[in-house]
Structure 1
Amino acid sequence: MKRLFATLTILLAAGGFAVAHDADDKAPHDGESVKLIAQHLMSEKLDGEEATASVVEVTIAPGQEGLAHRHPGPGIVYVIEGTYELGIDDKPTEIFKAGESFYEPGGCLHRVSRNPSKTEQTKLVAIVLHPRDAKEVAIPEPKTK
């Protein structure tokens, strides 16, 4: 597992990603776009299941926020540009700036996913490890009534 995380860290630091296939931009919410950059089948298993590493680029317009969501596995996120406000589960929100990275446990609720700047866009690259049969890398949280 250490080797896997070392490889993922090198990919993030180098910024050079081998594109397995290209996907169209998806707009899960106004002001936010998500682009699948690459997917790699992993030889290691995740919780005993065959796994995939998906690399996504997320761009959030100034002052915008994404919808509440979860990921089917853990992720490592690197802030390429701007600032990013993150609130997971019941933890206090945190602000991350360009050049910083953070870890997200699998299945946690992203209740806050926001660009706090009124003038600059936010751009992130995330590597999400997930079961190969996962239908979505980001699972929208049902709205409460």
Structure 2
Amino acid sequence: MKTYKNLILSAITIFSLALLFTPDMAKAQQSGIKRTELQRHDLSIPGREAIQVRIDFEKGASFGKHSHPGEEIIYVLEGIFEYEVEGQSPVSLKAGDVLFIPAGKIHAAKNIGNSKAVELATYIVEKGKPVLKMQK
């Protein structure tokens, strides 16, 4: 019985530590936002990869300030977004609009429409680094 209790205690400790050291991408899954990775491929440029992600924002959902270790190219599939990019005035984009975010620029996005909003994000990033770094 004592061994069983030790095993459970060890499992709880390991699980707690795993949560503490979870990568930024997992921490960034915010309420009302669903990220679906569509593809990931090495580029002909050594050390770089392209990642495409569909990001669904429920009505009123926002993704806080963050950055990427490379460029982000956004194509709005549906809805209306407001983007705040470091050093620029906020911009509203609707379906069919695009936005380029330079490497390392802190930015945030919010669904400001009356229904779900969806974007296709293409990242050209350094391979092996977390795709997303949340800001405090």
**Which TM-score band applies after superposition, normalised by the shorter structure?**
0.7 to 0.9
1:75-114 aligned at under 5 Å gives the runs 75-110=72-107, 112-114=108-110
Deviations 1:81-113 (A, max 9, x none): 101110011311000110111111010001x31
Work out the CA distance in 1 between the residues paired with 2:35 and 2:134. Answer: 13
TM-score by length of 1: 0.71
The corresponding residue for 1:140 is 134
Work out the number of aligned pairs and report it: 110
* Higher-Rg member (1/2): 2
**Amino acid corresponding to residue 36 of structure 2 in structure 1:** K
Q: Give a deviation string over 1:6-58, Cα, whole Å, max 9, x none.
A: xxxxxxxxxxxxxxxxxxxx66110111111110100124xxxx100000111
Structure 1 runs not aligned, ≥5 long: 1-25
**SS of 2:119 mapped into structure 1:** strand
2:105, 2:63 → 1: CA distance? 15
Given that 1:28 and 1:67 are in contact with CA atoms closer than 8 Å, whether structure 2 keeps it comes out as no
TM-score under structure 2 length normalisation:
0.76
Residue 121 (1) aligns with residue 121 (2): no
SS at structure 1 position matched to 2:109: strand
- The separation in 2 between residues aligned to 1:28 and 1:69, in whole angstroms, is 12
Flag as ranges the 4+ runs of structure 1 deviating above 2 A. Answer: none
Counterpart position of 1:30: 31
| 1:17-56 pair list within 5 angstroms | 28-45=29-46, 50-56=47-53
Q: Aligned letter for 1:116?
A: I
**What is the alpha-carbon root mean square deviation over aligned residues?**
1.3
User: Which residue in the other structure is 2:57 paired with?
Assistant: 60
* C-alpha distance in 2 between matches for 1:138 and 1:85: 19
> How far apart, in 1, do the equivalents of 2:87 and 2:35 lie?
25
- Runs (5+) with no aligned partner, structure 2: 1-25
